[in-house]
Amino acid sequence: KSLVFYTWTEVFIYLFLMIQLLAYSQSGNEMGIKTWGIKSAVFSIFVLVITIIYSLRVASLHYYMEKQHEIRSRLILEKQDINKLWKLAYTDMLTGLNNRQLFEKRLEEYAGYGSCITLSFMDVNGLKATNDQFGHLEGDAYLIDVSRILSEISGRLNMDLFRYGGDEFVMMGNGVNGQELAAALEQANEQLKSGPARYPRSISYGVVRGDCTEYPSLIAEADHQMYRYKLKHYERTARS
């Protein structure tokens, strides 16, 4: 745009100067007219210089704006790449949940806060039998359904949910007590049992609350309670 403006200004001044030169060259013209012509020519040159300066500044502004847009676009792409790498590093591909690596990272963050947390260790009952009898696709569907139900609970209670590995999940947060979480997990079991399936579905879980700086012992205690729950509720049912 600045180049077009500059070009048309040059054309206008050129035509104006040609007219002035033609008038100046006429022998019959008075000195006053010729003087006015010279002044007009000087003024036209001044306007041309101003136009060049203006055009250069506008062109420079456009150049820096384009460079800024280019840098912004590159930063957006780099951020998208970082988000993709973060997702690959910390997301379980099957369920879409946070993975064990992020769980360990979050534990360290919670420990830095120095507050108490409520933690549940959960295990999907009968997954191996489901895989053996109905195939791994059905087992994957079982895991995905459990993940969906647990995600609803973690969202409602404002807790973090992770797939710990295999058939194990972990949920933790510092804004809920153990009784409330245990009640929600019992409701999850009711949902799983009432859902359409060719095999029994349920989870075993253990819930603990304690100092997050001692999270290794919390995890061990939650795991221990989960196995006690499994022996009491699932193993007995499976044998009967």
pLDDT value for 41: 62
Instruction: Tell me the pLDDT tens digit for each residue of 162-186.
Output: 999 999 999 999 888 899 999 999 9
What pLDDT does residue 239 have? 45
Residue 240, pLDDT above cutoff 50: no
CATH number of the domain bearing residue 187: 3.30.70.270
Q: How many angstroms from the chain centroid is the CA of residue 226?
A: 34
Q: Distance (Å, rounded) from C-alpha 62 to C-alpha 53?
A: 14
pLDDT digit string, tens, across residues 82-117: 777 767 789 999 999 999 999 988 888 887 777 788
**Tokens encoding 97:** 């949940």
Q: What is the pLDDT of residue 229?
A: 94
pLDDT at 196: 79
Asked whether residue 94 is assigned to any structural domain, the reply reads: no
Domain count, the chain: 2
- Both 159 and 109 in a single domain? yes
Distance, CA of 173 to CA of 190 (rounded, Å): 23
Is residue 172 within 8 A of residue 158, CB to CB? The reply is no
Residue 95: inside a domain: no
Same domain? 72 vs 133: no
Domain end: 37, 60, 88, which one? 88
The answer to the question of residue 93 being in a domain is no
- Residue 22 scores a pLDDT above 70: no
* Model pLDDT for residues 33-76, shown as the tens digit of each residue: 556 556 666 666 666 677 767 777 777 777 788 888 888 877 77
Using a pLDDT cut of 90, give the percent of the chain over it: 43
Residue-wise pLDDT tens digits, 119-145: 999 999 999 999 999 999 999 999 999
Given pLDDT bands bounded at 50, 70 and 90, which one contains residue 234? confident
Q: What is the pLDDT of residue 205?
A: 97
Say whether pLDDT at 26 is over 90.
no
125 and 209 share one domain: yes
d(CA 113, CA 79): 28
- The torsion defined by the Cα of 67, 71, 77 and 80, in degrees rounded to 10, comes to -150
Compute and round to an integer the Cα radius of gyration of the chain.
38
Q: Is the pLDDT of residue 7 over 50?
A: yes
Domain carrying residue 19: 1-88
176 lies in some domain: yes
Q: CA 88 to CA 79: how far, in whole Å?
A: 14
Provide, for the chain, the percentages of residues in helix, strand and coil under a 3-state DSSP scheme, each rounded to the nearest 5. Answer: 70, 15, 15
DSSP per-residue string spanning 86-144? HHHHHB-TTT-SB-HHHHHHHHHHHHHHT-EEEEEEEEETTHHHHHHHH-HHHHHHHHH
Residues 166 and 140 in one domain: yes
Do residue 119 and residue 223 come from a single domain? Answer: yes
- If asked whether residues 117 and 154 sit together in one domain, one would say yes
To 5 degrees, how large is the angle CA 110–CA 102–CA 157? 60
Domain end (from 88, 111, 133): 88
51 and 145 share one domain: no
Could you say which of 55, 88, 121 is where a domain stops?
A: 88
